[in-house]
Amino acid sequence: MKKTFFELLESLKFALKSLQTNLLRTSLSLLGVSVGIFSIVAIYSAIDGLNDTVMDSMNKFGQNTLYITKFSFTGDAKVPRWKRKNFPFPDIDEYKMLQKSLSKDEVKAVTFRIFMPATKVTVPGKEPLLGVELIADGAEFPQIQELEFESGRFFNNFEESHAAAVAVIGANIKDALFEDENPLGKTLRIYGKKLKIIGVLKKEGEGVGPSNDSRLFIPHSFARTIVAPHKSFTAIIVAPEPDMPINKLTQKIRLLMRQKRHLKPTEIDNFFINNINTVKDQIEKLTGVLRLGGGFLALFSLLIGAFGIANIMFVSVKERTNQIGIQKALGAKNSFILWQFLFEAMFLSLIGGLIGIGLVWLGTLLVNRVQTDFVIQLSLKNILIGLIISSVIGLIAGLLPAWKAAKLDPVEAIRTGI
């Protein structure tokens, strides 16, 4: 065992000496591997950054949050599109029924949401703000999605039940219409109606997922005085208790909705109960496909690097034939020669991999400084993937040249060198 260790150590010394002697050739050999490792690690880091940003945005809605509406978030091939198109939107009576039927042991909160068309918001003496996302919600919404306030509060149950003309605005709306002023207590106008501002949300920042920065929240009861709910995209949102089995709760909601809509046993559900975790699973599958596709594309660069290393190693074997013959004549075993060239190929590939990873690190610093939509991080997992791949590429590329060198006849090798 000790003898084998010293043989490997001597092989490593010979490999390093050879690399130092041929710096230009070494540098050229590194290029292909560096580009390949840069490609695969950069792609994986970008996909991970995108995935983390989307997941962080979706995690704001909690675990297993249920959206009951006429649409399937993930698509449902079992129900024809023309049938889905004719499904009714959830209404306020169904929302109240679920609110009464579901106990506090089962759910944290149930709310009714109306997704209203983007609208114009005006403030006296200011330029109107166009394209504001208007969300009509219930007072229970902060129990479903955690909201951070810069000032003020969300509307309460009394304001919701009395269709109070109140509003909560996102940070972008506050900056655009009020700049450095305190907007609390001031009024704005939508659809010709005045609303009193009672809350301002903290800035979340732009991301891939939904942001509340450009949203204006109003009670759904007040929204029903502006637009007819049956003409708008509505949803009932249910936040389950953490210990509640989600399948059991989903089945109970399904039965309650079927009863409320008087559906016969032979009729299909004319609604969908969407679990936010299912959407997360779909996103993870998508990013998995992107990683696979990105890795496949980067493989071509790695193959070019592998061929480059193999070619250089064959040249190295030919140049050092005489040296190999002398080593064998002095008693060097085939394994010693084999490991000498394998170490050389693996070191070439590893150094190229480290250069590629270093370039990715510099790239992430630059990209994160330029844009803020999502943060790209060079994770330890991706670094290890890059190093392992570069080591394997070096091992495979150096195997045939090393085997050829190990099998040389010492007499013929010395004679060829002379």
Angle at 189 between CA 184 and CA 191, to 5 degrees: 145
Highest mean pLDDT among 17-26, 28-37, 198-207: 198-207
Q: What is the DSSP string of 375-403?
A: -----HHHHHHHHHHHHHHHHHHHHHHHH
In this prediction, residue 58 carries a pLDDT of 65
Q: How confident is the model at residue 24 (pLDDT cuts 50, 70, 90)?
A: low
Min mean pLDDT across 18-32, 50-64, 201-215 is at 18-32
Instruction: Indicate left, alpha or beta for 131 from its phi (over 0: left) and psi (-120 to 50: alpha).
Output: left
Q: From 221, 240, 270, give the residue that closes a domain.
A: 270
Cβ neighbourhood burial of 100 (10 Å; 0-12, 13-18, 19+): exposed
Examine residue 79 and state whether it is found in any structural domain, yes or no: no
**Residues 238, 103: Cα–Cα separation, whole Å:** 12
Residues 259 and 288 placed together within one structural domain of the fold = no
In this prediction, residue 206 carries a pLDDT of 62
Residues 298 and 333 placed together within one structural domain of the fold = yes
Examine residue 182 and state whether it is found in any structural domain, yes or no: yes
Per-residue pLDDT at 370 exceeds 60 = yes
Compute the mean pLDDT over every residue in the chain, rounded to the nearest whole number.
81
Examine residue 70 and state whether it is found in any structural domain, yes or no: no
**How much of the chain exceeds pLDDT 70, in percent?**
83
Number of structural domains in the chain: 2
Residues 335 and 402 placed together within one structural domain of the fold = yes
Examine residue 82 and state whether it is found in any structural domain, yes or no: no
Per-residue pLDDT at 412 exceeds 80 = no
- pLDDT tens-digit profile of 167-218? 999 988 998 888 888 899 999 999 888 999 999 999 876 654 567 888 999 9
Other Cβ atoms less than 10 A from the Cβ of 91: the count is 15
**Residues 369, 416: Cα–Cα separation, whole Å:** 58
In this prediction, residue 340 carries a pLDDT of 74
Angle at 182 between CA 178 and CA 187, to 5 degrees: 65
Q: From 270, 298, 327, give the residue that closes a domain.
A: 270
Residues 289 and 411 placed together within one structural domain of the fold = yes
Residues 40 and 142 placed together within one structural domain of the fold = no
SS3 per-residue string spanning 301-354:
HHHHHHHHHHHHHHHHHHHCHHHHHHHHHCCCCHHHHHHHHHHHHHHHHHHHHH
Residue 35 domain boundaries: 2-58+282-417
More confident residue, 268 or 284: 268
Residues 266 and 286 placed together within one structural domain of the fold = no
In this prediction, residue 34 carries a pLDDT of 82
Examine residue 68 and state whether it is found in any structural domain, yes or no: no
Listed in sequence order, the DSSP H helices in 179-333 are: 220-223, 246-260, 276-319, 321-329
In this prediction, residue 26 carries a pLDDT of 63
In this prediction, residue 369 carries a pLDDT of 76
Residues 357 and 413 placed together within one structural domain of the fold = yes
**What predicted TM-score, i.e. pTM, was given to this entire model?**
0.68
In this prediction, residue 318 carries a pLDDT of 72
In this prediction, residue 159 carries a pLDDT of 92
In this prediction, residue 232 carries a pLDDT of 75
Highest mean pLDDT among 45-49, 367-371, 375-379: 45-49
Angle at 299 between CA 293 and CA 305, to 5 degrees: 160
Examine residue 71 and state whether it is found in any structural domain, yes or no: no
Residues 296 and 249 placed together within one structural domain of the fold = no
More confident residue, 3 or 144: 144
Listed in sequence order, the DSSP H helices in 179-275 are: 220-223, 246-260
Q: From 250, 270, 290, give the residue that closes a domain.
A: 270
Query: Which tokens hold the place of 252?
Result: 């109970």
Closest CA to 281 of 272, 271, 289: 289
Residues 195 and 247 placed together within one structural domain of the fold = yes
Run of H or E including 45: helix 23-59
- pLDDT tens-digit profile of 239-251? 998 888 989 999 9
Tell me the mean pLDDT in the region 308-331. Answer: 72
3-state secondary structure of 80: coil
Examine residue 65 and state whether it is found in any structural domain, yes or no: no
Q: How confident is the model at residue 37 (pLDDT cuts 50, 70, 90)?
A: confident
Cβ neighbourhood burial of 344 (10 Å; 0-12, 13-18, 19+): buried
Examine residue 400 and state whether it is found in any structural domain, yes or no: yes
Residues 127 and 236 placed together within one structural domain of the fold = yes
